């Protein structure tokens, strides 16, 4: 849906992004560009609350915003998921509500009917080309940020794992430039629906656990910054988080087991010190399994939840860490 307020030069994208516009709740590239022409280069604000949709329309809208003469501010009023996140990256400035969400994932195609190998190969090649375009789009956005982490952001990995970012994560990684006041957002567990600023989104299409985790992380940040008895500088918290992630990223290399440990630590909030014993155990060993992430993740979770790391001194902690190292060494050498 696109609405224009002549006095304030605002456009609203509240709903699905489609190839063709059939309802007021939809936005297509044509309907958006037609509306954009009415502003004549005037500064605009694009309000976004969308679960995404057609990637070609989103890229066209993104490019239209990039080429627009006036200044463009994109305000994520609730959700900028999938294709909608591509659109906001075309703005000169991205502002997210403090509890808003942004989601990045790999492109997908809907196929109906019967296809031979050559036809499926064409579809694969098309998806690969789209993936490359998406990576370039996100990379261009984060490269404009002054975040010290943007050079280490592996956008393709974020796409592969369906990454959900709350406003603080988006700011940290360079996808957003500013955080605004919170909006109404809640999960309807019975209906499996995410209600974002009065817009209903079917959570079954996405990874529900990652949505919950992103929302919960935002609540934790609110507690840290709003508790009167604990005066905390938001910038200080963000810098500490940047340092934690940067220290972990520096340890990445060609060993997939080490990279799996690091990726898991980044996602779950662990520090380099937390996982250093496991990195030491696998960093010089050949990894024979193509996808070690799940097994490594299970080993780390077992260690982090076992209580062993809470034992101060003594043989118990040494033995527990040694046992975890032995398990990872066995796995890294091809053991089950």
The CA-based dihedral angle spanning residues 85, 87, 93, 94, taken in that order and rounded to the nearest 10 degrees: -30
Domain spans in the chain, listed from the N-terminal domain onward: 10-249, 251-336
Residue 278 backbone class (left: φ over 0; alpha: ψ -120 to 50; beta: rest): alpha
* Predicted pLDDT at 181: 80
User: Contact 286/332 with Cβ under 8 angstroms?
Assistant: yes
Structure-token pair, residue 221 = 């940040």
Closest CA to 15 of 45, 44, 55, 53: 53
- The H or E element that residue 202 is part of is strand 199-202
User: Contact 143/167 with Cβ under 8 angstroms?
Assistant: no
Question: Which residue stretches of the chain have pLDDT < 70?
Answer: 1-8, 145-153, 183-194, 196-199, 201-239, 283-336
CA distances from 55 to 52, 122, 145, 202, 232 (A): 8, 17, 24, 19, 40
* Predicted pLDDT at 323: 56
* Predicted pLDDT at 297: 56
DSSP 3-state of 79: strand
DSSP 3-state of 255: coil
Q: Which fold has domain 10-249?
A: 2-enoyl-CoA Hydratase; Chain A, domain 1 (3.90.226)
Query: Phi/psi of residue 25, each to 5°?
Result: -85, 0
d(CA 98, CA 178): 9
Read off the pLDDT of residues 185-233 as tens digits, 9 standing for 90 and up. 666 666 666 676 666 766 666 666 666 666 665 554 443 444 433 334 4
């Amino acid at each position: 849906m696109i609405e224009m307020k002549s006095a304030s030069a605002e456009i609203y994208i509240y709903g699905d992004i489609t190839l063709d516009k059939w309802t007021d709740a939809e936005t297509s590239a044509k309907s958006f560009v037609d509306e954009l022409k009415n502003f004549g280069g005037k500064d605009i604000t694009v309000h976004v609350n969308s679960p995404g949709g057609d990637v070609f329309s989103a890229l066209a809208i993104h490019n239209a915003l990039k080429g627009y003469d006036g200044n463009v501010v994109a305000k994520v009023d609730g959700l900028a998921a999938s294709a909608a996140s591509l659109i906001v990256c075309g703005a000169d400035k991205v502002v997210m509500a403090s509890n808003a969400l942004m989601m990045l994932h790999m492109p997908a195609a809907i196929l109906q009917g019967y296809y031979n190998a050559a036809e499926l190969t064409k579809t694969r090649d098309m998806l690969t080309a789209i993936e490359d375009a998406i990576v370039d789009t996100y990379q261009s956005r984060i490269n404009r940020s002054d975040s010290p982490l943007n050079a280490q952001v592996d956008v393709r990995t974020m796409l592969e794992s369906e990454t959900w970012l709350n406003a603080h994560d988006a700011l940290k990684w360079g996808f957003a430039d500013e955080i605004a006041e919170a909006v109404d957002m809640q999960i309807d567990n019975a209906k499996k629906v995410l209600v974002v600023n009065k817009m209903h989104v079917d959570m079954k299409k996405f990874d529900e656990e990652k949505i919950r985790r992103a929302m919960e992380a935002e609540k934790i940040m609110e507690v840290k910054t709003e508790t009167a008895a604990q005066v905390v500088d938001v910038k200080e918290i963000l810098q500490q988080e940047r340092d934690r992630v940067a220290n972990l990223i520096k340890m990445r290399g060609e060993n997939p087991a080490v990279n799996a440990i690091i990726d898991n630590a980044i996602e779950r909030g662990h520090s380099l010190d937390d996982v250093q014993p496991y990195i030491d155990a696998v960093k010089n060993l050949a990894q024979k399994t193509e996808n070690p992430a799940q097994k490594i993740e299970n080993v780390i979770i077992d260690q982090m939840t076992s209580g062993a790391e809470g034992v101060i001194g003594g043989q118990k902690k040494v033995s527990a860490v040694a046992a975890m190292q032995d398990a990872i060494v066995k796995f890294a050498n091809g053991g089950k």
